[in-house]
Amino acid sequence: MGKKIFVTLGVVSVVFMATVVWAQEVTVTVGNGSGAPGDIVGVPITASDTTASAINSCDITLRYNPTLLTLSDVGAGTLTSAWEREVQLTDVELAQLTVPWHYPVYKETSGEVKIALYGTSNLSGAGTLATLIFKVNATATGSTTLSLTKAQFKEGAVSSALVNGSFTINTGGVVGDVDKNGAVNSLDVQACVNHILGVQDYGNAADVNKDTLVNSLDVQRVVNIILGV
Ligand SMILES: [Ca+2]
Ligand SMILES: [Ca+2]
């Protein structure tokens, strides 16, 4: 009787060990980004080879400094675009929604974003799980860690290693160089006017006097820089 229980336990533990070994650890890495105030920049979250782990879901939580960056969107990646197609709702289901359909599902609160990715097939190979689309805040300087606090596959059935990224704000550049060609001249006066008229968006570079507005004062400032006033 005792021997029978021992043998049974042995078989169970061999099966359990085989399952654990089969589900290979996946490394999840946040990319490094950079941009000037006003820029829109995509930062990828990538995964190492997923083929051996039969993954059909992934939950990610990431933290960043919300005084520097504003999350404007989260997109599916090369690894998860098939999932996006697999779980697409029918026209009837879409019509019943009270909020717009968005894949992946994500929720952002005070610099923490939670992302839920899922599908019906298993992931294959290495690639991008999702892309974070950040807008660099107008008064941002310095840098922020893009800190992965969670990247859980199959509700934790597959172990993961987390690698943080960072985002650096570029505040260099020549003041008054609205069109960013390296020189300050009459073209920048024209560029500033075009920005005000809505002809072309030069982003934060058009706010030459850095008062968060783009108006005639910035045109005057460019002229003064050219004149050396
Ligand atoms: Ca210029
Ligand atoms: Ca201004």
Identify which ligand lies nearest to the alpha carbon of 208.
2
DSSP class of 156 = G
Kindly identify the ligand whose nearest atom is closest to the C-alpha of 196.
Answer: 2
Contacts of 38 (CB under 8 A, 6+ apart): 135, 136, 138, 203, 204, 205
- Compute CA distances 202 → 92, 171, 194, 206, 211, whole Å: 42, 15, 9, 6, 15
Nearest C-alpha neighbor of 166 from the set 27, 59, 64: 64
Ligand 1 center–CA 191 separation, angstroms? 8
Q: Region 199-222: what's the mean pLDDT?
A: 92
- Percent of the chain at pLDDT > 90 equals 72
| Ligand approaching nearest to the C-alpha of 206 | 2
Q: Work out the angle at residue 129's Cα, subtended by the Cα atoms of residues 125 and 61, and round it to the nearest 5 degrees.
A: 135
- CATH for 22-169 is 2.60.40.680
Considering the chain, tell me which residue range(s) the CATH 2.60.40.680 domain(s) occupy.
22-169
CA of 186 to the centre of ligand 1 (A): 8
- Residues 134, 39 contacting (CB under 8 angstroms): no
pLDDT at 18: 47
Ligand 1 geometric centre to CA of 226 (Å): 11
Distance CA 178, CA 200 (A): 11
Q: If you measure from the C-alpha of residue 21 to the centroid of ligand 2, how many angstroms do you get, rounded to a whole number?
A: 60
Neighbours of 183 (CB within 10 A): 12
> From the CA of 129, how far away is ligand 2's center (Å)?
39
Residue 212 banded pLDDT, cuts 50, 70, 90: confident
